[in-house]
């Protein structure tokens, strides 16, 4: 009675998962190259291979833009929606690699770059995941690599960050899995598409959705599930923090968006998602108020990220088509301004000092006027002032919130923005204020020129998106 | 008509009795053979040729004082030997000694038979590691940590070598595997797997040359240093039973179980089985007397860097051959 | 059904035992009982392969590693030293949240207890679910893994590889040289950075 085993998938299925596969394989090549190349060439070769792999993956992904395909029996959907998020992950990973030149010891750099690429692979899998199982597996791949990356720096705070991240994130994964189990129990399938069927028990379904969203909110670091973020961001090595601040969010956001837009049955759509909007509202306030008290720029950007994610999720309130478009636009804008700020910090960092303390910025406006100017620009963008992408993004979110009847979110967004301006200007003031007594600061010698490229590109993109807001319009039908 | 549960109970009691007796005499067997190989007489005081030696040993064990160290964790310390023994004995509920339709010798046929045996042996490791930890002294702790690492490492190679047989037989039922060997015993197509299985099973049962767990020259007695009296006896029984179990599995998987040699089907299957299993037990004893103990790091290196890759390769080749020939 | 309730009670009781014990090894023993009861639950559902794998992987390998680590970290049988107890401050809200969530769960389950599965339930690959040796057998699992669940299966394998490499990267701060018989473990231990720093006198 041996069954005739036919694998029901063809080359089109494998082609659909080609972009994450290419990134994953590139990481293996990085490790192999690390074994063979001389010690001096390791850093640059690892980063170069990683960037080439990511670019190739991006090109392959773009090929599928007009050819959406449901691969592996509905486990993975390649198409506009997935490609946009894959693109964001790829760009963020490239910028993070640019900042990674001085990262980790010589014998660890290959593995560190590989882990970063694998983490990106996980996020890309999440971008296309269309079954609960794939969402979970993508998330685990993403997080597992990040736990290791957090613990790489040889200092106590990094280990603390890794441990905190591991334990709290596992708890969140537990919530996520429990929610998925309940959803499976309520609908009898792990496919997101099956969630639209009438469930056995509506209450089970609701609780499942709730726990599922709690798990994802943790990964999105939305308040009140945000408590881990500042500590982990502060402890993790700088390139990892930069990477984490965008890629985790992009992956989890793709899952939330697919869940909210495509999976939920229309009848009890609003009721299930209301807590999500409330969480977004709390995040906007908590993130910005929390940012006020910070003296470490990594912590400040962590709180800023909490607030920005609040804005992005708020854009999806009412699950309108435009809302998703604007959320993606703002995610892209957030990526550029956030990574730009991180790249500036990278340029300031040197051995034993990551340059993230507020003191490192004292008088920067006189020592490094260009760098200080760019930093000011990124902070303005994060605060949402014109002429930047952050400004346009917020205007668009305000418009869509008012249109879909979530005016209270719009009001909170404005309040949050007002608070945030003060927080960001603390750094600007430190850079330009004439301090009494010159602080003893090391000479400005960046470890490599690569972050300069990152800073420049981020600045151009932030300005460009501010002047010409662009977001792909035809992705909503592809969410499924 | 005797109800089925009564038959089951009687069979269980008989098996337990036989198994424990086998244990007792395989111990004597081991001591005698070791003595002959080392040119000394061996036990010869109690009964003719020392035949009553096991009974004397058992009596001695029973009447010794059962000590519990002051630093020990009393509950787990007392629990650990039972975990070991129950798991070691439990495997005999699943091992088919003979055809399941063979009347009074008939045994149950569990579908996932070989997997259940693995499950039981993997629980059995807890007996050793909990014993080492709960003794509250350093030699048992070191012994149990070693044993945990060793058993986890070699379990991989062991399982890999068994999967080759499972692929050939197409079933996980032990009876099914024996039936599949009516023509050719799997020792021929799976020679590499057989050798890996033998090596890994020696390590799994903590016998020389892999008996690092209780290396008396460095760890006094390993995990059971603090145990005495009957509780020590339980560990002792469990260890021997594990060896017998492994011999039985090797017989079933590689030597055709109760299938007769040279077509001599007049001899009942169970006799063939016992002879083949006895051969393995003799081989384990032979290994013990012949080979010196390995050093710990070399043991680990060998397990992970040689045995596991070879086992994986063997598995892949087997799978490929089966896939190609099955069309 | 009574077997189910018996196993369920054992499961919950052992889980509570696991989280309330001060000594980590007792927790492990509780968890072991928990895993075994779960495996027994699988057996009652005819999923014998899943049950056995549950024992081999979870009890035999993963939990064993827990014992290993606990034994290495706390030589001696005393419980870990407890930190300050932060529970009283949040006891009331935590209890409230738990009760509410639990109430919801019971409400949800009670709506239609053990009702029939929806029509699109996943069926077995080798035959009808009700037949013996079909649902949950090794063959059923294998076919499912290598056909409809192929992508999750591959990704899981990938995750495990990443985990192994990540751990090696974090832990492997010194490549051990082959000793060639001159074994000086004390020296290497001394060179290593201590995990726990002794407080300054």
User: CA B85 to CA B305: how far, in whole Å?
Assistant: 32
Q: Looking at the complex, does the CB of residue C61 fall below 8 Å from at least one CB of chain B?
A: yes
Residue C35 banded pLDDT, cuts 50, 70, 90: very high
Average pLDDT over residues A185-211: 80
E-strand stretches of chain B: none
Paired with A71 in beta bridges are A76
CB contact burial A305-342 (16+ within 10 A = b; e otherwise): bbbbbbbbbbbbbbbbebbbbbbbbbbbbbbbbbbbbb
Q: Which residues of C touch B148 (CB under 8 A)?
A: 64, 67-68, 71
Residue C189 banded pLDDT, cuts 50, 70, 90: low
Closest approach of B66 to chain C, Cα-based (Å): 20
- Are B280 and B247 in contact by the 8 Å Cβ rule? The answer is yes
Q: Are residues B70 and B41 in the same domain?
A: no
Residue A1 banded pLDDT, cuts 50, 70, 90: very low
Identify the residue with better confidence: B43 or C127.
B43
User: CA C123 to CA A401: how far, in whole Å?
Assistant: 44
- Are B257 and B181 in contact by the 8 Å Cβ rule? The answer is yes
Query: Tens of pLDDT along C81-93?
Result: 666 666 677 778 8
Model pLDDT, residue A157 = 81
Residue B206 DSSP one-character state: T
- Third-level CATH fold of C1-75: 1.20.120
- Are B100 and B109 in contact by the 8 Å Cβ rule? The answer is yes
Closest approach of B259 to chain C, Cα-based (Å): 25
Q: Are residues B125 and B21 in the same domain?
A: no
Q: Which residues of C touch A1 (CB under 8 A)?
A: 126
Model pLDDT, residue C120 = 42
> Residue A178 CA to chain centroid, in angstroms?
24
- Please tell me which residue of chain A has the smallest CA distance to C172: A108
Q: Are residues B149 and B236 in the same domain?
A: yes
Average pLDDT over residues A255-259: 88
Of the candidates B237, B192, B188, B249, the residue with the CA atom closest to the CA atom of residue B22: B237
Query: Tens of pLDDT along A417-443?
Result: 999 998 888 888 888 887 655 555 555
Q: Looking at the complex, does the CB of residue C177 fall below 8 Å from at least one CB of chain B?
A: no
Residue C118 banded pLDDT, cuts 50, 70, 90: very low
Model pLDDT, residue C119 = 47
Flag if B118 and C52 touch (Cβ within 8 Å): yes
- Please tell me which residue of chain C has the smallest CA distance to A28: C162
Contacts of B288 by beta carbon, 8 Å cutoff, 6+ apart: B30, B34, B207, B208, B209
* Share of residues in chain A with pLDDT > 70 (%): 92
Of the candidates A272, A271, A280, the residue with the CA atom closest to the CA atom of residue A209: A272
Indicate whether A92 pLDDT > 90. yes
Among A2, A144, A194, select the one facing C166 at the smallest CB separation: A144
Model pLDDT, residue C83 = 65
Which helix (H) or strand (E) segment holds residue A70: the answer is strand A69-71
| Chosen domain end from B63, B87, B107 | B63
What is the largest distance, in Å, between two alpha-carbon atoms of chain C?
71
Burial class of residue B106 in the structure, from the number of CB atoms within 10 Å of its CB (0-12 exposed, 13-18 middle, 19+ buried): middle
Q: Which residues of C touch A147 (CB under 8 A)?
A: 166
CB atoms near residue B254 (< 10 Å): 27
Q: Are residues B116 and B216 in the same domain?
A: yes
Which helix (H) or strand (E) segment holds residue A69: the answer is strand A69-71
Range of the domain at B41: 1-63
Q: Looking at A395-409, B257-271, C24-38, C140-154, which range is the least confident one?
A: B257-271
Q: Are residues B33 and B112 in the same domain?
A: no
Average pLDDT over residues C147-156: 86
Q: Looking at the complex, does the CB of residue C138 fall below 8 Å from at least one CB of chain A?
A: no
Q: Are residues B54 and B106 in the same domain?
A: no
Q: Looking at the complex, does the CB of residue C9 fall below 8 Å from at least one CB of chain A?
A: no
Model pLDDT, residue A124 = 93
Q: Looking at the complex, does the CB of residue A437 fall below 8 Å from at least one CB of chain C?
A: no
Model pLDDT, residue A71 = 82
Choosing among B82, B87, B125, B126, which should be mutated to test the C contact, i.e. which has the most C CBs within 10 A?
A: B126
Q: Which residues of B touch C75 (CB under 8 A)?
A: 138, 141
Model pLDDT, residue B327 = 55
Q: Looking at the complex, does the CB of residue C184 fall below 8 Å from at least one CB of chain B?
A: no
Cβ contacts from B onto C, under 8 A: 91
Residue C80 banded pLDDT, cuts 50, 70, 90: low
Indicate whether A389 pLDDT > 80. yes
Among C53, C59, C75, select the one facing B141 at the smallest CB separation: C75
Indicate whether A163 pLDDT > 50. yes
User: CA B192 to CA B315: how far, in whole Å?
Assistant: 10
| Chosen domain end from B41, B63, B85 | B63
For chain A, the structural domain boundaries read 11-478
Indicate whether A329 pLDDT > 50. yes
Identify the residue with better confidence: B170 or A266.
B170
- Please tell me which residue of chain B has the smallest CA distance to C32: B123
Closest approach of C184 to chain A, Cα-based (Å): 24
User: CA A225 to CA A175: how far, in whole Å?
Assistant: 12
CB contact burial A235-248 (16+ within 10 A = b; e otherwise): bbbbbbbbbbbbbb
Q: Are residues B156 and B46 in the same domain?
A: no
Task: For chain B, list residues with pLDDT below 50.
Answer: none
Choosing among A131, A188, A211, which should be mutated to test the C contact, i.e. which has the most C CBs within 10 A?
A: A188
Among C29, C56, C75, select the one facing B118 at the smallest CB separation: C56
- Please tell me which residue of chain A has the smallest CA distance to C166: A148
- Please tell me which residue of chain B has the smallest CA distance to C23: B73
| Chosen domain end from B10, B40, B63 | B63
Which helix (H) or strand (E) segment holds residue A455: the answer is helix A450-467
For chain C, the structural domain boundaries read 1-75, 137-172
Flag if A148 and C170 touch (Cβ within 8 Å): yes
Query: Tens of pLDDT along A36-54?
Result: 888 888 888 888 999 999 9
Model pLDDT, residue C49 = 83
Q: Looking at the complex, does the CB of residue C97 fall below 8 Å from at least one CB of chain A?
A: no
Q: Which residues of C touch A13 (CB under 8 A)?
A: 151
Flag if A7 and C121 touch (Cβ within 8 Å): no
Q: Are residues B150 and B129 in the same domain?
A: yes
Q: Looking at the complex, does the CB of residue C146 fall below 8 Å from at least one CB of chain B?
A: no
pTM: 0.85
Q: Are residues B26 and B144 in the same domain?
A: no
Report the number of secondary-structure helices (H) and strands (E) in chain A: 18, 2
- Are A298 and A241 in contact by the 8 Å Cβ rule? The answer is yes
The tally of domains found in chain B comes to 2
A32-46, A136-150, C128-142, range with greatest mean pLDDT: A136-150
Query: Tens of pLDDT along A449-468?
Result: 788 888 888 888 888 888 87
Q: Are residues B102 and B178 in the same domain?
A: yes
Model pLDDT, residue C121 = 47
């Amino acid at each position: 009675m041996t069954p005739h085993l036919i694998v029901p998938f063809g080359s089109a299925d494998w082609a659909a998962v080609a972009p994450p596969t290419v990134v994953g394989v590139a990481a293996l090549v990085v490790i192999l190259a690390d074994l063979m190349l001389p010690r001096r060439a390791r850093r640059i070769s690892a980063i170069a291979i990683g960037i080439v792999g990511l670019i190739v993956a991006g090109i392959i992904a773009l090929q599928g833009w007009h050819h959406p395909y449901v691969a592996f029996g509905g486990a993975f959907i390649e198409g506009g929606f997935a490609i946009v998020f894959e693109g964001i992950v790829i760009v963020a990973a490239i910028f993070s690699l640019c900042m990674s030149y001085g990262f980790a010891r010589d014998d660890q750099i290959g593995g560190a770059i590989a882990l970063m690429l694998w983490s990106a692979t996980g996020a890309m899998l999440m971008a296309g995941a269309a079954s609960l199982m794939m969402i979970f597996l993508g998330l685990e791949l993403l997080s597992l690599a990040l736990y290791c990356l957090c613990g790489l720096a040889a200092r106590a705070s990094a280990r603390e960050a890794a441990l905190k991240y591991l334990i709290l994130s596992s708890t969140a994964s537990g919530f996520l899995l429990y929610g998925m189990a309940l959803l499976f129990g309520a609908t009898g399938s792990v496919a997101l598409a099956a969630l639209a069927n009438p469930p056995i028990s509506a209450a089970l379904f609701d609780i499942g959705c709730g726990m599922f969203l709690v798990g994802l909110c943790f990964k999105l670091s939305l308040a009140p599930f945000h408590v881990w973020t500042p500590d982990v961001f502060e402890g993790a090595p700088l390139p990892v923090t930069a990477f984490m601040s965008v890629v985790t969010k992009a992956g989890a956001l793709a899952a939330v968006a697919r869940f909210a837009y495509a999976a939920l049955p229309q009848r009890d759509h609003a009721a299930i998602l209301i807590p999500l909007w409330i969480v977004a509202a709390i995040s906007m306030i908590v993130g910005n108020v929390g940012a006020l008290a910070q003296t470490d720029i990594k912590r400040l950007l962590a709180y800023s990220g909490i607030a920005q994610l609040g804005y992005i999720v708020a854009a999806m309130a009412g699950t309108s088509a435009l809302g998703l478009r604007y959320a993606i636009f703002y995610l892209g804008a957030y990526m550029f301004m956030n990574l730009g700020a991180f790249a500036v910090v990278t340029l300031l960092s040197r051995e034993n000092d990551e340059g993230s303390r507020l003191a490192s910025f004292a008088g920067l406006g006189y020592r490094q006027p260009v760098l200080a100017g760019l930093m000011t620009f990124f902070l303005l963008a994060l605060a949402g002032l014109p002429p930047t992408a952050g400004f346009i993004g917020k205007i668009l979110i305000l418009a869509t919130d008012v249109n879909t009847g979530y005016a209270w979110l719009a009001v909170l967004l404005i309040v949050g923005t007002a608070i945030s301006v003060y927080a960001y200007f603390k750094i600007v003031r430190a850079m330009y204020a004439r301090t009494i007594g010159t602080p003893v600061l090391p000479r400005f010698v960046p470890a490599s020129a690569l972050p300069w490229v990152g800073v420049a590109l981020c600045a151009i993109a932030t300005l460009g998106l501010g002047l010409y807001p662009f977001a792909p319009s035809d992705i909503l039908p592809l969410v499924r | 008509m005797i109800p089925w549960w009564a038959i089951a109970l009687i069979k269980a009691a008989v098996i337990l009795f036989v198994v424990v007796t086998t244990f007792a005499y395989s111990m004597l067997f081991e001591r005698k053979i070791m003595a002959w190989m080392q040119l000394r007489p061996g036990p010869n005081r109690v009964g003719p040729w020392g035949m009553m030696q096991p009974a004397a040993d058992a009596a001695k064990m029973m009447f010794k004082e059962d000590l519990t160290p002051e630093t020990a964790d009393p509950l787990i310390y007392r629990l650990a030997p039972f975990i070991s023994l129950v798991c070691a004995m439990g495997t005999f509920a699943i091992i088919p000694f003979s055809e399941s339709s063979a009347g009074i010798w008939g045994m149950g046929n569990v579908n996932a038979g070989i997997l259940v045996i693995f499950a039981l042996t993997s629980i059995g490791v807890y007996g050793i590691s909990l014993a080492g930890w709960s003794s509250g002294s350093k030699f048992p702790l070191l012994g149990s940590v070693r044993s945990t690492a060793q058993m986890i490492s070699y379990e991989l190679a062991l399982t890999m070598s068994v999967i080759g047989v499972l692929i050939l037989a197409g079933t996980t039922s032990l009876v099914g595997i024996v039936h599949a060997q009516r023509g050719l015993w799997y020792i021929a197509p799976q020679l590499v797997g057989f050798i890996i299985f033998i090596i890994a099973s020696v390590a799994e049962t903590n016998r020389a040359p892999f008996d690092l767990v209780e290396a008396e020259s460095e760890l006094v007695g390993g995990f059971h240093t603090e145990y005495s009296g009957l509780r020590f006896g339980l560990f002792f029984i469990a260890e021997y039973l594990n060896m017998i179990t492994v011999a039985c599995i090797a017989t079933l998987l590689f030597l055709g179980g109760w299938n007769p040699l040279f077509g001599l089907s007049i001899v009942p299957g169970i006799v063939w089985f016992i002879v083949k299993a006895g051969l393995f037990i003799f081989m384990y004893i032979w290994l013990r007397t012949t080979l010196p103990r390995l050093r710990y790091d070399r043991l680990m290196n060998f397990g992970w860097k040689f045995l596991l890759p070879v086992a994986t390769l063997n598995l892949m080749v087997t799978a490929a051959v089966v896939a190609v020939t099955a069309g | 059904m009574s077997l189910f309730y018996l196993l369920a009670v054992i499961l919950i009781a052992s889980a509570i035992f696991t989280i309330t014990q001060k000594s980590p090894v007792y927790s492990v023993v509780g968890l072991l009982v928990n895993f075994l009861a779960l495996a027994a639950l699988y057996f009652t559902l005819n999923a014998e392969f899943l049950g056995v794998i549950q024992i081999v992987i979870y009890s035999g390998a993963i939990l064993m590693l827990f014992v290993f680590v606990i034994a290495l970290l706390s030589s001696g049988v005393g419980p870990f030293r407890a930190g300050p107890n932060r529970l009283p401050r949040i006891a009331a809200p935590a209890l409230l949240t738990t009760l509410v969530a639990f109430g919801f769960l019971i409400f949800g389950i009670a709506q239609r207890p053990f009702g029939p599965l929806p029509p699109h339930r996943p069926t077995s690959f080798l035959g009808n679910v009700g037949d013996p040796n079909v649902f949950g057998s090794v063959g059923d699992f294998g076919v499912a893994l290598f056909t409809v669940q192929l992508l999750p299966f591959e990704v899981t394998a990938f995750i495990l590889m990443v985990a192994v490499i990540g751990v090696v990267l974090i832990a492997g701060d010194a490549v051990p040289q082959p000793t060639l018989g001159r074994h000086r473990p004390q020296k290497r231990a001394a060179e290593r950075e201590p995990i726990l720093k002794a407080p300054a006198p």
